[in-house]
Amino acid sequence: MRYIMKQKILSLGNDFRIRNEAGEDVFLVDGRALSIGDKLSFQDMAGKELAFIRQKLLAWGPTYEIYRDGSLAAVVKKKLFTLIHCRFSVDVPGPDDLEAKGSFLDMEYAFSRGDEQVAEISKRWFAWSDTYGVDIRDGEDDVLILAATVVIDLACHREGRQG
């Protein structure tokens, strides 16, 4: 499934709107303003929370937790010591961990499970800032991958502003 993710520029928190390839709004990510660390609610268009994203403050490097139905579904963490490419790990319970690697500041990267690519993120077709495409292979957990994409956006933009 293909999605278009756009960060809302004029909002108090880190808000995102996600559309399907037909241009219909399908998800909203509502960032809480005035909180210590990033806290975001990933919702369907009826306002039902599908995932909750929370930044881990006392962690070595950018680390976020994704919760679903009150249970930890994944920990997304930037790998700090890599030789060539920047990487993020998406640690899920069980054997289905994901890894994201590529050019994160340019928003050109992919999620893989082992040697198999499961999603591709690209900004190349969008001229305006903070908009990019997310192409997820059928049968994957779209909400988890989209939530991890939001996390990577937050972690990379924060580093870009600081460094």
Q: What are 119-159's pLDDT values in tens digits?
A: 999 987 665 567 889 999 999 999 999 999 999 888 876 54
pLDDT at 159: 47
Domains and CATH numbers, the chain: 2-162 (2.40.160.200)
User: pTM for the whole thing?
Assistant: 0.87
Kind of pairing between the strands at 63-68 and 71-79: antiparallel
Q: What is the DSSP letter of 117?
A: E
Our separate counts of H helices and E strands in the chain read 1, 12
CA pseudo-torsion sign 144, 146, 150, 156: positive
Among 53-62, 87-96, 110-119, the minimum mean pLDDT is found in 53-62
Residue 75 has pLDDT above 90, yes or no: yes
Contacts of 51 (CB under 8 A, 6+ apart): 41, 42, 66, 67, 68, 73, 143, 144, 147
